[in-house]
Amino acid sequence: MENDHPKNLLSINGQLSARFVDKICERLIGNRDQGPLHVLLCSDGGESGAGVRLYEFFSHFSGDLTVYASVAQSAAAIAFLGAPKKKVLPYGTVMFHAVMTQMGGLANIENLRAAIEVASGQDRTLRAIVGKHLPNITKAEWKSYDDGHFYVSFDRLVALGLLGASDQCDFPAGRAAHIVPGL
């Protein structure tokens, strides 16, 4: 039951979608006066636009917010970059990659051009966010990003200046309320 959980410990679990991000934002806004918020991020990604939206929300959040990466991959890794305070669990994973697309409908030239235009815009946005927060990644790391698997270790995140040496830690003790996709 939700009332059994402290209101400042939250766990985000699942694929990010526009609807799920709405749910996350509502919960965080509703709980921001409960003291410092600690959010455990456990997501292997989702829609790139949803990751960017959560990134923006985290970037402009007016409360005391710390986001802990347990699994922050793809769109969730983008969202993680927006957190005002970031931590990584001892065995946490952070992974970025270029935009992946699926095209429904007929593969006629107009639909293909439209899909390329959308994917190109999304890719420019994601690259700008990654480049802003990790400006010193190497050409080889960008190649891994383009190939779909740029896993970044805690030590590398420290070397890149995103985290400090003390930012690897466990999630605060207590039972977190889970925020999951769904109705």
Token pair recorded at residue 123: 């890719």
Gap between the terminal Cα atoms of the chain: 17
Return the exposure string of 68-89: e unless at least 16 CB atoms fall within 10 Å of the residue's CB, then b. Answer: bbbbbbbbbbbbbbbbeebbbb
Contacts of 92 (CB under 8 A, 6+ apart): 68, 69, 70, 71, 72, 154, 168
Here the CATH number for the domain that contains residue 160 is: 3.90.226.10
The predicted structure's pLDDT at residue 7 = 66
Query: CA–CA separation, 65 vs 43, rounded Å?
Result: 18
3-state secondary structure of 176: coil
The predicted structure's pLDDT at residue 3 = 47
The predicted structure's pLDDT at residue 182 = 56
Domain count, the chain: 1
Q: Supply the pTM of this predicted model.
A: 0.88
The predicted structure's pLDDT at residue 2 = 43
Range of the domain at 20: 2-179
Q: What is the pLDDT along the chain (183 residues), one digit of tens a residue?
A: 344 455 688 889 999 999 999 999 998 998 888 889 999 999 999 999 999 999 999 999 988 999 999 999 999 999 999 999 999 998 889 999 988 777 677 778 888 888 888 888 889 999 999 999 999 999 999 999 999 889 999 999 999 999 999 999 888 777 677 776 754
